[in-house]
Amino acid sequence: MAMRGIESQDWAWFTFSRVRVLRELADGRSERDAAERLGIAYSSVRSVVEELKNKTGLHSVREIGRWWRGQAGEWLAWCAEQAGAAQKGYGTGGD
């Protein structure tokens, strides 16, 4: 399974819409099931999956789901950092 490294500056590409699809795939759902659960068109999920394949270099929905289970925490930490709410110094009155 060949995976391209995702640098921190690339996390911005992972929009909430894409991440919602990733979450469904990480939970082991098919593209069709993901579309139904998210209330979006199957073709929209297929489009996101194709974009994800191109971005990650992975070839299957199962690989993408497994990859996301390992990456979600890093993406979430990046989001918190972008929002100025990262754990480091958060709520302590300083950096």
95 in a domain, yes or no?
Answer: no
6 has pLDDT over 90: no
User: 61, 25 in Cβ contact below 8 A?
Assistant: yes
pLDDT reading at 1 higher than 70 = no
pLDDT band at 7, cuts 50/70/90? low
Q: Which residue segment(s) compose the domain that 47 sits in?
A: 15-82
The rounded distance, in Å, linking the Cα atoms of 67 and 36 is 22
The answer to whether residue 94 sits within a structural domain is no
| The predicted structure's pLDDT at residue 85 | 87
Q: pLDDT digit string (tens) for 42-68?
A: 999 999 999 999 999 999 999 999 999
1 within domain boundaries = no
Q: Which tokens hold the place of 17?
A: 């819409």
Chain-centroid distance of CA 62 in Å reads 14
Is there a contact between 9 and 23 (Cβ–Cβ < 8 Å)? no
For the cut 50, the answer to whether the pLDDT of residue 77 exceeds it is yes
Q: Report the number of distinct structural domains present in the chain.
A: 1
Query: Could you tell me the CATH number of the domain that includes residue 51?
Result: 1.10.10.10
* DSSP secondary structure code for residue 15 in this structure: -
pLDDT at residue 93, as a whole number: 52
72 within domain boundaries: yes
